[in-house]
Amino acid sequence: MSLSPSTRIDRRLFLQSTAAGIGTSLCGATVAAAPTEEEEIFFRSARKLRDMLKAKEVSPLEVIKSHIERIDIVEPHINAVNFFPRKLAIEEAEVAERLIQSGKADWNSKPLHGVPVSIKDMYAVAEMPTTAGARFRAKNVSKEDATAVRKLRQAGAIVIAITNTPLNHAAFETSNKLHGRTNNPYDLERTPGGSSGGEAALIAAGGSPWGLGGDSGGGIRVPAHFCGVAGLVPSWGASFYRRKCVEAPHQFC
C-alpha cells in the first residue's frame, strides 16, 4: 500500500482533505488555524480522551470508531500499519462502554480505560503478528503480551494498530521488504524517520493518540522530530534506580 517516490500529493490539499475539512494539519499543528475544542476526536491527546471518557462526554466506542475511520482514510497514503485489529478493538470498546455506563469502571486501577494505543512492531501482542519487518517472521503470531503491552492493557488501553518499523528496527527510515515503506504524512515523498517511524506517522496523521515505540539510538526521537510529535525516552536504568532508592536511599539516591 506504499506510494512510489514519484507519486506526489499536494501537501496542503492532502492535509486539508484528510483533516475532515477543518483546516488542521495531520499532527494537530496548524495549516490554517490552531486546533479548537471542537476538533475531531482523533486529534485529541490520550490524556484528553481519558478525561472525556471519564466524564462520559464521549464513549469508548465513539473514540475507537473515530480512530478506525481515520486510519482507513490516511493508511493508503502513509502505510504505517502492519496489523489492524479493528474487530477486536471494537469488541473491547463495547466492553469498556458497558462498564462505564453501568458505573463499574474502576478509574483507579484502569486509568486508561477505553483509550486507544498503537504498538510498534517490536513488542509482542497476544494473538497478533510480531515481525520486526522481517519476511521470515511474516507468519509469527505472539502467544502473549510483552510486559509493556500487558501493563498498558491492564490499565485499560485498547490496542488499535501494530505499526511499521525498518528491518529489525535498525535504520533511521522506515521501510522493509515485508510491509513496504512508510511515508511522512507532511510530505509523502519523505520518510517519517526510524525506527519508530510507523508510530510517529500514524500519530501525526490522527490514527492513534499515542503509542509504544522503542529507542536505543534515536528510534523514538528521530521520528518524533520528523513528524512533529512528542517523543519520550526514559533514562537508562531509571526503573532500577527508582527501586533501589526505596531499598537503600543512602546508597543510590
Question: For all residues of the chain together, what is the average pLDDT?
Answer: 85
CA–CA dist 24, 35 (Å, integer): 6
Q: Which of 166, 172, 152 lies closest to 212, judged by CA?
A: 152
Give the domain range for residue 135.
Answer: 41-231
Q: Which of 192, 165, 174, 159 lies closest to 68, judged by CA?
A: 159
Q: Is residue 242 included in any domain, yes or no?
A: no
Q: How large is the average pLDDT for residues 25-39?
A: 37
Q: Is residue 203 included in any domain, yes or no?
A: yes
- Which H helix or E strand runs over 11? helix 11-18
Q: Is residue 243 included in any domain, yes or no?
A: no
Q: What is the dihedral of CA 198, 38, 72, 63, to 10 degrees?
A: 80
Task: Give the amino acid at 202.
Answer: L
Q: Is residue 5 included in any domain, yes or no?
A: no
Q: Is residue 178 included in any domain, yes or no?
A: yes
Please tell me the predicted confidence (pLDDT) of residue 23: 27
Q: What's the pLDDT tens digit per position in 243-252?
A: 666 666 555 4
For residue 90, give Cα distances in angstroms to 60, 86, 139, 210, 218.
9, 6, 24, 18, 33
- Within 13 Å of residue 156, how many CA atoms lie on the same side as its CB? 23
Q: Is residue 16 included in any domain, yes or no?
A: no
Q: Is residue 179 included in any domain, yes or no?
A: yes
Q: Is pLDDT at 57 greater than 70 in this prediction?
A: yes
Q: Is residue 222 included in any domain, yes or no?
A: yes
116 by DSSP, 3-state: which? strand
Q: How large is the average pLDDT for residues 62-75?
A: 97
CA–CA dist 229, 193 (Å, integer): 12
Please tell me the predicted confidence (pLDDT) of residue 247: 64
CA–CA dist 183, 198 (Å, integer): 8
Predicted TM-score (pTM) of the model is 0.82
Write the CATH number for 128: 3.90.1300.10
Number of domains composing the chain? 1
